[in-house]
Amino acid sequence: MSRTLHLALHPYGVGGPGQHGLWKDPRVAKNASIDINYYIAQAKAAEHALFDALFIVDSQFINSTYPAHYLNRLEPLTLLSAVATHTRHIGLVGTASSTYNSPFNLARRFASLDHISGGRAGWNVVTSFDTGTSRNFGLDEHLDYTTRYGRALEFVQVARGLWDSYEDDAFPADVARDVFLDPAKLHALDHEGEHFKIAGPLNLSRSAQGQPVIFQAGVSEEGRDLAAQVAEGIYAPGGTLRQAQEYYADIKSRTASYGRDPEHIKIFIHGGPVVAATDEAAVRREREIFEEDNDFDRNLALLGRSFGAYDFSGHDLDAPFPDVAHLAEKGGRTGAAKLIERARTEQLTLRQVAQSVSEFRRSPFVGAPTTVADTIEQWFAAGTFDGINLAFRNNDDLELFVDGVVPILQKRGLFRTEYEAETLRGNLGLPVPANRHTRAPQLVNG
């Protein structure tokens, strides 16, 4: 097989959505989500296993019902800047909202991380899922879907323009000629669009990989189109093998329709492997994990996130699912629409909808190391993903995967035995974007 697998690590901390009981695990420090040493240790373990990236999610709104990790966690770029000084190869991907940031400021922060890490930064572009975030930024309500995605597209375009402010040889630093900067190679952006008016230039040069890698998680039509236009990495919803194949083919096709090389967009699905000495032990452990996390009240609160953090607790649980469609338009519209349609067609109560969202679903990546490696190989060969964004409940589970599954994937030629490059782009096999002011093609970063 000519393709090689990519692996990323998504730390859980004390437990995000659906991991309601994780903070109770004696192997998980109760302050894991705010302990930089926890993240450094996770990143070092992933780097030792030759993973491509460490991925940090984020949101900027909470209430008391939110998952433990959401209640008390570090800001992604600050976190990743600290991790960068303790690692050499692993990519550092942080989530930041295009709705609640300004392009100049965020472009500068990601470019700074890119320099601090030697060219390993990535930006996961989100438009913000939680509608309550608007009130933390002086707005009465969340932007609608069309506005959010139009703003996101322009935001990325502006950021990329700012990252090209300096040509690569703009700083001769020639003492003999008394020339530090060649001013002809510094370029203002002078952007004026529908959402932003930004002069530039950015006061930071391009990094070893040219620009941070753009990631996105596109599920809706608008999201998939945004991903196809600008993303270089995608966090895909996963699902069944057939669903993952359909999503993979759709994104690659959309990417080509925008005149881009489909190989220059890497699709990662979420994977929460459960690895044990035998298949039977792994299946038992998977069920135990579900029971540890199965908290109805918290699942009901989590259901509200798709509807603007709506509080369903005041409704009769055994009455028909309430009419809350109007709350989904500015929240998690795609997922909410599916829930509403299912509740309508199957005549489900609120209790049944909440239970269906949190019902036990088998992961495909459960079993002894060989079984898990077999499934990964099968899915990879079937065209479902380019990589897996892996999440483990604790360090023991990470070690089981690294020590048991990774060597098998390496022996089969599916995963690297050493890093190919010093940068995130290089390890993902992505080209260095040519500076728009230079227009000379550049080879894949090594």
| 35 is known to lie in a ligand binding site | no
Beta carbons of 206 and 169 less than 8 angstroms apart: no
| 95 is known to lie in a ligand binding site | yes
Q: ∠ CA(123), CA(260), CA(422), 5° rounding?
A: 45
- Encode burial over 79-95: b for 16+ CB neighbours within 10 A, e otherwise: bbbbbbeebebbbbbbb
Residue with tokens 């993979």: 248
In angstroms, the CA 61 to CA 178 distance is 51
Beta carbons of 219 and 237 less than 8 angstroms apart: yes
For 226, the enclosing helix (H) or strand (E) is helix 221-230
Beta carbons of 142 and 111 less than 8 angstroms apart: no
In angstroms, the CA 278 to CA 125 distance is 39
| 220 is known to lie in a ligand binding site | yes
Would you say how long the chain is, in residues?
446
Assign 197 to helix, strand or coil.
strand
| 149 is known to lie in a ligand binding site | yes
- Taking the alpha carbons of 294, 295, 296, 298 in that order, is the dihedral positive or negative? negative
Beta carbons of 104 and 200 less than 8 angstroms apart: yes
Binding-site residue numbers for FMN are 58, 95, 149, 220
Binding-site residue numbers are 58, 95, 149, 220
